[in-house]
Structure 1
Amino acid sequence: RLGPRDLLQELAPDVRVIEVGKTPGHHPVPQLEINRILVEEALAGHCVVRLKGGDPYVLGRGGEEAEFCRQNGVEVEVVPGVTSAISVPAAAGIPVTHRGLAKGFSVVTGHEELSEVPARPDHTVILLMGVAKLRESAAALADSGMPLDTPVGIVENGYMPEQRVTIGTLATIADQAEAAGVANPAVIVIGDVVRVSPFAPEHFKTADYSTLTPNKPRVVTP
């Protein structure tokens, strides 16, 4: 569903396309069935390509599928992708790390894991598949000590013609997303790196991120 579907138009007429895409809460082809199809088609002598978007080894099922194939006598070649956790923020001008702003980042899929990540604006938190639980996730980070004025950016449909960027703070982003009708696929970025985005409001900007003054503490003037 989220793969580069335009490539399908370049396939030869005799290539069969088997749709197994998933949407939130709707998996018409269960994972075990996907595994079975991969092995069955390969053992029938066909060249099988499992086309996915991003990096299926980052919070995806690529590892499971490859393991299942190998366990059933099917050799696998992996062509790595670029995870949406990094590439989609970049589409909105948001680096997940930035000299003087953030030295590390965490990628999670829901608010349950947020109690285990650093709750600081200088440690970027990236939420995948997090739109439905955004309000709970924001509350969990606030409860862990992250300041309510921490910038938050949401990038919907990254790199697509309908890409949309919504930027707010930990205190406001849930209401903003609800009012705007934010929907999956979307990547949510929480932390001071959002200030770098050209989509960020002017008052979010800070002069303290620079390669000329690395590691200088950020100072925000009210």
Structure 2
Amino acid sequence: MQKAGGKVYLIGAGPGAADLITVRGARILAQAEVVLHDALVTSDMLELCPQAVKISVGKRSGQRSAAQSHINEQILSCAQQYGIVVRLKGGDPMLFGRADEELVAMEQAGIRYAIVPGITTAVAAAASARQPLTKRGIARSVAFFTSSTAPGENADTRIPDCDTLIQYMGGKEATLTAQRLLGLGYAVDLPVIVIENCSRSNERILRLNLGDLEQGLSASEGPVLVMIGEAMRARKQPS
């Protein structure tokens, strides 16, 4: 199939703060003619592309958003109209970013594309909490998982077998996750860190344990990441 004239860039915007996007991502944004962005992309981030036409395509977990098939159609349409098209996704496009569906659509249409990775929220959250995800002698493995599903899709109830567990979009599923872990024999006092709106001005960090998490989390106004494991235990501070 003959390739379309425009090129699409899938760019990871990172966890939220505009200065956490990669240099490559910012450079391409500054050249973009049109930007199709998720709901979680901040206004500060969009100031990096004042010259571009901006199209919000929703995609916020737990809320009504644009259907993925419609987003795919918008990407293909923009690639026929513009030379440099950016699909801007929160975090990293290759992790819980529905990138596969968009890549398939572009490949079937013969559209040229490139992928620019972004800082995934788990790494930024570990930095904000000053709590490494791995720790010598304690945590040698890390698993990223989510219980969030598309409408009509069955939730995956499996819990990864890893030293440090990172649950994306974990706010509403916090109680169920804790119950499953406790049912598997995890300790009630296992450390938990919950981060809401990671890297943003309204970031909130909560230090809990698995027993607390079982009681649920208060309603949040932004994305929530839950980090579970012995590596999350607070370090002893010098007296």
TM-score of the pair, normalised by structure 2: 0.73
Q: Considering only aligned residues, what root-mean-square deviation do their CA atoms show, in Å? A: 2.3
* Unaligned 5+ runs, structure 2: 1-38, 149-154
* Structure-1 separation of matches of 2:201 and 2:132: 21
Residues 51 and 115 of structure 1: CA distance in aligned 2, closer, same or farther (over 3 Å): closer
* Unaligned 5+ runs, structure 1: 198-204, 208-222
| Native 8 Å contact 1:108 1:114 kept in 2 | no
Aligned to 2:198: 158
Identical aligned pairs, as a percentage? 30
Aligned to 2:151: none
Q: 1:171 aligns with which of 211, 215, 219?
A: 211
Alignment of 1:1-222 (within 5 A): 1-13=39-51, 15-110=52-147, 113=156, 115-118=158-161, 123-175=163-215, 177-178=217-218, 181-196=219-234, 205=236
Residue by residue, what CA displacement relative to the aligned partner does 1:3-26 show, whole Å, maximum 9, x if unpaired?
Answer: 35313224344x210001223332
| Native 8 Å contact 2:192 2:229 kept in 1 | yes
Structure number with higher strand proportion = 2
Return the offset for 1:130.
1.2
Residues 185 and 162 of structure 1: CA distance in aligned 2, closer, same or farther (over 3 Å): same
Higher relative CO (Cα under 8 Å, sequence separation at least 6) belongs to 2
Q: Which amino acid aligns with 2:211?
A: A
Return the offset for 1:186.
1.1
* Structure-2 separation of matches of 1:174 and 1:46: 50
* Structure-1 separation of matches of 2:91 and 2:81: 28
* Structure-1 separation of matches of 2:95 and 2:60: 17
Q: Which amino acid aligns with 2:161?
A: P
Q: Size of the alignment, in residue pairs?
A: 194
